[in-house]
Structure 1
Amino acid sequence: MAAITRVSFEVDQFQRIVKILRQRMVVFDRKEWRGMCNTLSMLNHLLLNGPLSVFSEFQHERAIIEDAIKMEWIDERGFDCGLKVRNIAEKVLRLLEDDMFLKDERERNRKQSIGRITGFGNSSFVIHSETNNGRDGSLMLSNHQTCENDCIADDHPFVENEHKTAQLLLSSST
């Protein structure tokens, strides 16, 4: 989702993404509920992390999303497949109806994404700190691997140097 969100800031790719999401919403079939669930999840992610124009682009699809809220599909085992679709559709519809709620959720989401340690295993990770603002600072890991402070948050379209004020996540206390 992050890769799609990143390319959604390019005009050509944005139009392509909108077209694909609209096509998937129009062909919604309750027996194929996973497609709608994935489409609504992507739309939710784009509303919270993508360009602001996503909000205006999907105003006309509110009727389709309202239909998804009404969806009921219980499979042969008694599992309510429509529950997840309904929950995501309700959240997306609320984001599309209330621009102040959208603004607050985008801000909350942006704040949560700043200051995380990223990466896993032997791959490098990022430490955001007040004491280590420059790119020349490094941390020696236990396996003698050096990680440059190449902040991934710099790539986030809503970041304006907030990562420089985050607290030190790993301390050197003994």
Structure 2
Amino acid sequence: MGSPSFHELKKQASLFLKEKIKSARLALTDVTPAELLTEEVTNEDAWPPDTRSMGLISRAAFEVDDYWRIVDILHKRLWKFDKEKWRGSYKALVILDHLLTHGPERISEEFQSDKEVIKEMAIFQHLDQERFNWGLRVREKSERILKLLEEDRTFLKEERCRARKLTSGIKGFGSFTQRRVSKRLTRSRSEIYITCSYNIDHQDEDEDKDLDFLDHPLNEDEHWDRVPLVST
């Protein structure tokens, strides 16, 4: 095998540096793993948020502190939308879609104030170098989010119900045991920390326990008083 190219070495060095920075932030600041992961999956690079990361973020959102950190990041990403830097905003919509259907019910109220910028995204037009219509993809996602944020919440309730049934169906297929993650199963250090903190595997005891993302007590409003893509 030939020696690694300069670009490959540069890429490896960049990834190594990013991992060191994340480790330092976790060790020296009050940043949380969920916060780092949300920042990472809504950046401007060409990688879309993966299903595993979205699941970890939606579970973390049931913790009040992480909820506000995640929400703040998504607000900032949405309001930074423009024709040049659109990927982070689009990826924020992807995360928001998952949170609306799998996260705390309060998410719907929290993002009512973002409807105007989401409407602006709904008229976005962009073709990449391979003539893929990302403008259409962004518009479709924007229109879906706006529908989920409608005041009567009919569509939102239907989608949350559909998510519940889907999760129930996955639960019924095969048998899984709860376990702690002891080796590197994810792409980023942030995901490893979250996976260890939030046991993401299903339990066999009671089907309803696996669906608590829809019935979690933190869905009640009184618990939420706040104290202070994309492949080219």
Superposed pair shares fold, TM > 0.5: yes
Instruction: After superposition, give the CA deviation of every residue in 1:53-104 in whole Å (9 maximum; x if it has no partner).
Output: 0000000100011001000112344332211111111100100014111111
Instruction: Check 1:26–1:74 CA distance in 2 against 1; reply closer, same or farther (3 A cut).
Output: same
Counterpart of 1:13, as a letter, is: D
* Alignment match, 1:17: 70
Spell out, residue by residue over 1:25-80, the C-alpha distance to the aligned partner (whole angstroms, 9 max, x if none): 11112233321221101000000011010000000100011001000112344332
Tell me if 1:80 matches 2:133: yes
Partners of 1:8 and 1:35 in 2: how far apart? 19
> How big is the shift at 1:24?
0.4
2:164 paired residue number: 110
Question: Separation in 2 of the partners of 1:89 and 1:62?
Answer: 9
- Judge conservation of contact 2:93–2:145 (CA < 8 Å) in 1: yes
Which is higher, the Rg of structure 1 or of structure 2? 1
Q: Which has the higher contact order (CA 8 A, sep 6+)?
A: 2
In the alignment, what sits opposite 1:156? Answer: 211
For 1:159 and 1:52, locate their aligned partners in 2 and report how far apart those are by CA, in whole Å: 9
- TM-score of the superposed pair, with normalisation by structure 2: 0.52
Partner of 1:172: none
Match of 1:145 in 2: none
1:57 to 100, 110, 131: 110
Question: Whole-Å Cα distance in 2 between the matches of residues 153 and 68 of structure 1?
Answer: 37
Instruction: Tell me the residue number matched to 1:126.
Output: 176
Gaps of 5+ in 1: 128-147, 161-174
* Superposition RMSD in Å: 2.6
Identical residues among aligned pairs (%): 38
| Partner SS state of residue 65, structure 2 | helix
Cα pair 1:33 1:81 within 8 Å, conserved: no
The question of whether the paired residues in 2 share the 8 Å contact of 1:153 and 1:159 is answered with: no
Cα pair 1:71 1:82 within 8 Å, conserved: yes
CA gap of 1:71–1:159, structure 2 versus 1, over 3 A, is same
- Could you tell me which residue of structure 1 aligns to residue 124 of structure 2? 71
Q: Is the 8 A contact 1:24 1:36 kept in 2?
A: yes
